[in-house]
Chain A
Amino acid sequence: MRRGVIARESRVSKVAAMTVMIALAIYFLLPVYFLVVAATKPQGDLASTFGLAFSHFHFWQNLSTLFGVDNGIFLRWALNSVIYAVGGAAVGTLISTLAGYALAKFHFRFRETFFSIVLGGVLVPTTALALPLFLLFSTVHLTDTYWAVFLPSIVSPFGVYLARIFAGGAIPDEIIESARLDGAGEFRIFFSVAFKLLSPSLVTIFLFQFVGIWNNFFLPMVMLQSDQLYPLTLGLYNWNGQISRVPLLQQSVITGSLVSIIPLIIVFLALQRFWKTGLASGSLK
């Protein structure tokens, strides 16, 4: 009898669980579905047709309009975003891993102090840094340059934290010792032995920093004046602000938003497993 009660309970729970989860999935997917539908419509259909149903398929024309605005400035923004995010995350991953490896594998005084400073850095609200950074960069005339966005982006205390955890777990001391006995220098050991053992973790560190820079908005907004240097986020924000004066820009904001999130969503899906390793480390250690 007891077993029967439990079976019934679990059938009810299953239906309830699926219902809740389907509702939530609709919530998460709806805005993106709306964007896909809207990006295929001619500007005139946006307000006159129902937002969740396709009307005239106008996507290719929308794309060519998008890339034609202001002599193709959208492509320039996309390229800038790639430069900031790929370059910043690549350099950032390298320097974070060097530091994290040293903090995990070398013995020295104040090692824990260094690590505590890094952890404090994780808690610093970075937008509060943007205004003082602007003033500092303006004293050396570096505002409104690529460097103004790129340089602050390479610093990721969280990356150092992850690198230390990963290096501590993935690289046995014995391997380093024996490489040293073979006469390899510390950097040689780092780049040939540690890099190889850490490579999945490096992807994780890179991904976190990449997304952080790709999504960044406040720092570029504070630092940049010339639209030639804008990343996608800032460019689309500016277009969005002009819609009331230039209504035709609306379709380009929609198509541009879709074009800028699709590559990232694909990368996300392809590299899913790397997120989990990153998110799991820390919470239970």
Chain B
Amino acid sequence: MTDLAVPVIRAAKSRRRRGIAGVSPRMIAAFLIPFFLPFVLFYIVPIIYALCQSMLVVRRTAGEFGTSYTTFGGFTQYIQAVQNSEFWGSIGRIGLFGVVQVPVMLAVALLIALLLDSPLLRLKSFFRIAAFMPYAVPGVIAAIMWSFLYSPELSPIVTLLQDIGLKPDFLGPSAVLWSIANVSTWLWTGYNMLVLFSALQAIPQELYEAAKLDGASNWTIALRIKVPIIAPALIMTTVFSIIGTLQLYAEPAVLQQISTNISSTYTPNMLAYAIASGNNYQQAAAVSVIIAIVTFVLSFGFMRLTSRKAQA
């Protein structure tokens, strides 16, 4: 799962350690193959397979009842995919979701990390554990828990809001996207917080001392010194949040069980699954490839953009 992944990448080039010479190539292969063989089989081959499948079309020899055969179709599947209005619907939803949910979640994560790193708070380890705890909960179960808190019959939240005269409808057509966003935020804020908090903890204290002597407030120190230093960690959490958003499946699939306002093509991943369930594997492969390419372009694009800004 990419969910697992945290800050990465820039280590690639800077990390040239001395290493040890004089190990035979056969020995090196013996260390590498146990990982790289399954990596090729279960990562690389599926990618190539999906690319090949997405280039095929199923045709019939004569009209509706002829025998079907598979043949090369070029970009036919991709053209069909982007002409599907449900495809754009799912992209639009996920785009809106990402533009709102990712910044909100990371802002809250950053706020908690800064508070835990400041002298302002007591009970720090309790708060840290409380925020990180949802990471232990599988997405499906988090969505099930929240679905009870959204349902008009069971939810104590709905009861409380009704008592003060509101009529909340967490599963209504316009609200349900944000109800899903809330589940994601609940699940991942603590994890991102811990990434940012670990980065903050690695900053040497001496860096703040001069600012403190000048009478800078905790907030000035946090915003002017700490946040710029942990920018790489912020970039990585953003990239992995983008990847996670584009893969959204479990949470909307669970809420679909209690809300009629989530179609079976609500997110790009649900769309791909729905198309595959209809046995149109070539079209599903094309959608999967598009999801992967969009993910790559967005995550690399974001990293390039931010690294250029940092250099300027």
Which positions in A face B, CB cutoff 8 Å? 2, 6, 9-10, 13-14, 17-18, 20-21, 24-25, 27-32, 34-35, 38, 46-47, 50-52, 94-96, 98-99, 101-108, 112, 114-116, 118-119, 121-129, 131-136, 151-152, 154-158, 160-161, 164-165, 168, 173, 176-177, 186-187, 190, 208-209, 211-218, 222, 232-234, 236-237, 240-241, 243, 253-254, 257, 260-261, 264-265, 267-269, 272, 275-276, 278-285
B153 close to A131 (CB less than 8 A): no
Q: How far is the CB of A7 from chain B (nearest CB, A)?
A: 11
Shortest beta-carbon distance from B299 to chain A in Å: 6
A-B contact pairs, 20 of them (CB 8 A): A10-B120, A17-B121, A28-B130, A28-B186, A35-B145, A99-B32, A106-B23, A123-B239, A124-B47, A131-B281, A136-B46, A177-B20, A212-B4, A233-B250, A237-B140, A253-B144, A280-B202, A282-B7, A282-B236, A283-B6
A17, B42: Cβ atoms under 8 Å? Answer: no
**Is the interface on chain B under 10, 10 to 19, 20 to 34, or 35 or more residues?**
35 or more
Question: Within 8 Å CB of B129, what residues of A?
Answer: 269, 272
**By the criterion CB–CB under 8 Å, are B19 and A105 in contact?**
yes
At the interface, yes or no: B217 with Cβ under 8 Å from chain A?
yes
* Cross-chain contact B156 with A34 (CB below 8 angstroms): yes
Stretch at the interface among B8-16, B61-69, B167-175: B8-16
Question: Is the CB of B254 closer than 8 A to any CB of chain A?
Answer: yes
Task: Say yes or no: A282-B8 contact (C-beta < 8 A), given A35-B145, A129-B46, A211-B136.
Answer: yes
Do A237 and B295 have beta carbons less than 8 Å apart? no
- 7 extra interface residue pairs, beta carbon distance < 8 Å, beyond A95-B34, A164-B15, A214-B138: A102-B32, A107-B23, A108-B25, A119-B9, A127-B269, A212-B1, A265-B136
Nearest to B38 among chain A residues (CB) is A155
Does B291 belong to the interface (CB within 8 Å)? yes
Residues of A within 8 A of B254 (CB): 237, 240
A280 with B115: in contact, given A119-B9, A131-B285, A217-B138 (CB under 8 Å)? no
Residues in A whose Cβ lies below 8 Å from that of B292 = 124-125, 128
| Nearest CB in chain B to that of A239: its residue | B144
Q: Is B308 an interface residue (CB 8 A)?
A: no
Q: Identify which of residues 52-95 in chain B touch chain A, using a CB-to-CB cut-off of 8 Å.
A: 53
Chain B residues positioned under 8 Å from A173 (CB to CB): 18-20
In the complex, the chain B residue whose C-beta lies closest to that of A123 is B299
Q: List, in ascending order, chain A residues with CB within 8 A of B250's CB.
A: 217-218, 233, 237
A261 to chain B, nearest CB (A): 5
Partner among B10, B134, B144 whose Cβ is within 8 Å of the Cβ of A257: B144
Q: A21-B112, A98-B35, A158-B8 are in contact. Are A34 and B148 (CB under 8 A)?
A: yes
B146 within 8 A of A: yes
Interface residues of B (CB under 8 A from A): 1-21, 23, 25, 27-28, 30-32, 34-36, 38-39, 41-43, 45-47, 49-50, 53, 108, 111-112, 115, 118, 120-122, 126-127, 129-142, 144-149, 153-157, 159, 186, 189-190, 194-195, 198-199, 201-202, 215, 217-219, 230, 232-233, 236, 239, 243, 246-247, 249-250, 253-254, 257, 269, 272-273, 276, 281, 284-285, 288-289, 291-292, 295-296, 299-300
Q: Which residues of B contact A213 (CB under 8 A)?
A: 1
Q: Which residues of A contact B127 (CB under 8 A)?
A: 21, 24-25
Q: Given the interface contacts A106-B28, A129-B46, A156-B4, does A28 sit within 8 Å of B131 by beta carbon?
A: yes
A264/B136 contact (C-beta < 8 A), A102-B28, A131-B273, A131-B276 known: yes
CB distance from A258 to the nearest CB of B (A): 9
| Set A94, A151, A158, A222: member contacting B5, Cβ < 8 A | A158
- A5 CB, min distance to chain B CBs, angstroms: 9
Kindly identify which residue among B50, B186, B230 contacts A283, using a CB–CB cutoff of 8 Å.
B230
Q: Separation in Å of the B111 CB from the closest CB of chain A? A: 7
Contact between A25 and B12 (Cβ–Cβ < 8 Å)?
A: no
Determine if A51 and B42 form an interchain contact, defined as CB atoms under 8 angstroms apart. no
Flag if A107 contacts B45 (CB, 8 Å).
no
Given A212-B3, A283-B7, also A132-B46 (CB < 8 A): yes
Q: Residue A236 contacts which of B43, B122, B144 (CB distance < 8 angstroms)?
A: B144
Partner of A129 from B8, B43, B233, B273 at Cβ < 8 Å: B43
Residue of A nearest to B141 (CB): A257
The answer to whether A46 and B35 touch (CB under 8 A), given A107-B21, A126-B247, A280-B199, is no
Determine if B202 and A233 form an interchain contact, defined as CB atoms under 8 angstroms apart: no
* Chain A positions within 8 Å of B45 at CB level: 136
A128-B291 in contact (CB<8A): yes
Write out the residue numbers on chain A whose beta carbons fall within 8 Å of the beta carbon of B195. 279, 283
- How many Å from the CB of A22 to the closest CB on chain B? 8
Contact B34 A47 (CB under 8 A): no
- Asked whether B285 lies within 8 Å of A132 as measured between CB atoms, the reply is yes
Q: Which residues of A contact B291 (CB under 8 A)?
A: 125, 127-128
Residue of B219, B239, B292 contacting most chain A CB atoms (<10 Å): B292
Residues of B within 8 A of A265 (CB): 133, 136-137
Chain A residues with CB under 8 A of B247: 125-128, 218
A208 to chain B, nearest CB (A): 5
